[in-house]
């Protein structure tokens, strides 16, 4: 490694430490300001021109908001409609009435597992928040419950969504690794599904039961009011049927699932594939979900259109700050990427002598942690190992793709948009967010690697 590589790595490490200090010290700086200040500092420390720093800030923030900002806004509208119509109240009651308190995390894991098959992590979390908050709010009202009900219910969801996002096609990470390594979707998907099960169990219900009694996390009251309905508010209301409510809540996921199936079954250039790709795009799917819910749950039942419009407008206020902080995380990520921190990480990995499956996990992990982008981790690791994959016929390429996907999940922290989304949605401190999303994803990542190494002891699929 050159001295410049070492300097880049030290700069990246120092930037994260300064960011945490600005937020948690007596300064108590707002996360958006802290993210922007640290991003500018990294730019100057790595020799960027002022114009390039500004460009990276705007590109990073804009790209992140373009990818998840509108989807989060649409998800807030959908959640508000589901809450105001009494749908989440009935779904929460159904889960609580048929499930003991000990089994609730397992039930939420199953729901998130299904939601996570087609949905990105951030999109799946937006869809699940109304149900998480409704179930947790009822659970915390029980005198016997100790700790944070929101962590108890939320951690299994985070674990399941993360496992599916990093391990199972058709999510973009696994698909990118499959394409780069020139392997096939089928075996990778089978390995991914099997590996995801123990990963989401250890990172979800088991870890959640351990950590939730030790935390007092509670979301902001405004966000709680938006996504939940009290018994008094629901009294006297004639809510839609549970089946219709479930369909409205799951419609975006179903559209994305159709797109996922079409990608594996239909020719790329076919008209049916183009239609499926359009309808299954996260933004379009969420928009159709909002329109369907508004029509079937409100307007078709004689609801007031003006009140509906006002409610959807109000739904955006509690999440405006969340979206801006996520944009700041995107700016930080872009500056680190443009500073070539990823290249320094690649040079660092050249110092290790490891088996290909472990090396793929390690490279993806280091790139993801340092740049704040799981995609960068997957693309970088797959690209580096592609020549080896082509030269070694004994290497199990589906397992290598899965190993890289697992590595990209490790220790989601302050330069990841998902970290800030969890932190702000649940009203957590930096330490609480680290104990939840960062540790949960690390557990999922490590368990995934262990499963990969165990699979490698067996005859390959196909």
pLDDT tens column, 164-208: 999 987 677 888 898 889 898 888 989 999 999 999 999 999 999
pLDDT digits (tens, 9 = 90+) for 74-87: 988 998 898 888 88
- Flag whether pLDDT at 148 surpasses 90: yes
**pLDDT value, residue 209:** 96
Other residues' Cβ atoms within 10 Å of the Cβ of residue 455: 22
> Quick one: tokens of 248?
């409205």
- Flag whether pLDDT at 387 surpasses 90: no
- Of 71 and 438, the one with more pLDDT: 438
- Of 108 and 72, the one with more pLDDT: 108
Average pLDDT over residues 117-127: 83
Average pLDDT over residues 320-340: 90
Q: State the Cα–Cα distance between residues 346 and 264, nearest whole angstrom.
A: 32
Average pLDDT over residues 363-381: 87
Average pLDDT over residues 368-376: 85
Average pLDDT over residues 38-66: 94
**pLDDT value, residue 433:** 96
Look at the block and give the residue holding tokens 């589906």: 398
Confidence of residue 144 (pLDDT cuts 50, 70, 90): confident
pLDDT digits (tens, 9 = 90+) for 220-261: 988 888 888 655 555 555 678 888 888 988 898 889 888 878
Average pLDDT over residues 314-342: 89
Q: State the Cα–Cα distance between residues 20 and 445, nearest whole angstrom.
A: 23
Beta carbons within 8 Å of 361's beta carbon, 6+ residues apart: 403, 404, 406, 407, 445, 449, 452
Residue % of the chain over a pLDDT of 90: 52
pLDDT digits (tens, 9 = 90+) for 90-116: 888 888 888 888 999 999 999 999 888
- Cβ neighbourhood burial of 418 (10 Å; 0-12, 13-18, 19+): buried
pLDDT digits (tens, 9 = 90+) for 6-47: 999 999 999 989 998 999 888 889 999 999 999 999 999 999
**pLDDT value, residue 233:** 56
Q: State the Cα–Cα distance between residues 200 and 322, nearest whole angstrom.
A: 26
Residue % of the chain over a pLDDT of 70: 97
Q: Which of 184-188, 331-335, 390-394 has the highest mean pLDDT?
A: 331-335
Contact criterion met (CB below 8 Å) for 159 and 204: yes
What rounded mean pLDDT belongs to the chain? 89
Q: Compute the 3-state secondary structure of the chain and give helix, strand, coil in percent, each to the nearest 5.
A: 80, 0, 20
Kind plus residue range of the DSSP H or E element containing 236: none
Confidence of residue 272 (pLDDT cuts 50, 70, 90): very high
Provide the terminal-to-terminal Cα distance of the chain, rounded to the nearest Å. 40
Average pLDDT over residues 152-169: 94
**In terms of DSSP H, where are the helices of 143-184?**
149-167, 172-181
Q: State the Cα–Cα distance between residues 15 and 12, nearest whole angstrom.
A: 5
Average pLDDT over residues 437-457: 97
**pLDDT value, residue 229:** 66
**pLDDT value, residue 173:** 81
Residue 66: half-sphere exposure toward Cβ, Cα within 13 Å: 7
- Of 182 and 48, the one with more pLDDT: 48
pLDDT digits (tens, 9 = 90+) for 408-433: 999 989 888 899 999 999 999 999 99
**pLDDT value, residue 462:** 62
Other residues' Cβ atoms within 10 Å of the Cβ of residue 446: 19
Average pLDDT over residues 278-294: 92
- Of 221 and 153, the one with more pLDDT: 153
- Cβ neighbourhood burial of 193 (10 Å; 0-12, 13-18, 19+): middle
Question: Among 18-27, 126-135, 370-379, 394-403, which stretch is predicted with the lowest mean pLDDT?
Answer: 370-379
**pLDDT value, residue 234:** 52
- Flag whether pLDDT at 68 surpasses 60: yes
> Quick one: tokens of 279?
């309808």
**pLDDT value, residue 66:** 85
Peptide bond into 260 cis (omega under 30): no
């Amino acid at each position: 490694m050159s001295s410049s590589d070492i300097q880049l790595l030290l700069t990246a490490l120092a930037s994260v430490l300064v960011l945490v200090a600005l937020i948690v010290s007596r300064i108590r700086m707002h996360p958006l300001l802290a993210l922007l200040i640290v991003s500018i500092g990294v730019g100057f420390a790595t020799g960027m021109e002022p114009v390039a720093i500004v460009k990276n800030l705007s590109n990073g923030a804009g790209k992140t908001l373009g990818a998840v900002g509108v989807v989060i806004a649409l998800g807030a509208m959908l959640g508000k409609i589901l809450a105001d119509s009494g749908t989440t109240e009935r779904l929460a009651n159904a889960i609580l009435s048929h499930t003991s308190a000990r089994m609730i995390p397992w039930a939420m894991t199953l729901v998130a597992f299904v939601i996570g098959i087609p949905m990105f992590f951030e999109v799946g979390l937006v869809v699940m928040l109304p149900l998480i908050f409704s179930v947790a709010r009822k659970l915390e009202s029980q005198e016997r419950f100790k700790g944070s009900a929101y962590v108890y219910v939320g951690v299994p969801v985070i674990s399941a969504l993360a496992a599916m996002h990093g391990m199972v096609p058709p999510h973009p990470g696994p698909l990118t690794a499959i394409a780069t390594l020139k392997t096939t979707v089928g075996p990778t998907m089978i390995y991914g599904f099997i590996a995801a099960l123990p990963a989401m169990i250890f990172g979800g219900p088991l870890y959640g039961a351990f950590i939730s009694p030790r935390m007092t996390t509670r979301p902001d009251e405004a966000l709680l009011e938006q996504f939940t309905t009290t018994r008094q508010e629901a009294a006297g209301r004639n809510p839609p049927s549970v089946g219709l409510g479930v369909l409205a809540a799951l419609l975006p996921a179903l559209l994305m699932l159709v797109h996922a199936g079409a990608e594996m079954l239909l020719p790329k250039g076919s008209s049916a594939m183009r239609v499926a790709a359009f309808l299954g795009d996260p933004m379009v799917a969420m928009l159709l979900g909002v329109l369907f819910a508004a029509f079937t749950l409100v307007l078709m039942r004689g609801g007031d259109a003006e009140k509906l419009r006002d409610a959807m407008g109000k739904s955006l206020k509690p999440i405006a700050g969340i979206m801006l902080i996520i944009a700041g995380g995107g700016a930080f990520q872009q500056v680190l990427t443009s500073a070539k921190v990823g290249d320094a990480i690649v040079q660092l990995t050249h110092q290790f002598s490891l088996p290909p499956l472990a090396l793929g996990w390690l490279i993806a992990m280091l790139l993801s942690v340092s740049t704040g982008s799981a995609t960068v981790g997957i693309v970088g690791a797959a690209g580096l190992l592609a020549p080896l994959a082509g030269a070694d016929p004994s290497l199990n390429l589906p397992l290598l793709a899965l190993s890289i996907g697992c590595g990209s999940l490790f220790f989601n922290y302050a330069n990841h948009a998902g970290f800030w989304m969890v932190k702000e949605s649940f009203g957590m401190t930096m330490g609480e967010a680290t104990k939840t999303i960062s540790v949960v994803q690390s557990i999922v990542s490590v368990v995934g690697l262990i499963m990969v190494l165990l699979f490698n002891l067996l005859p390959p699929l196909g």
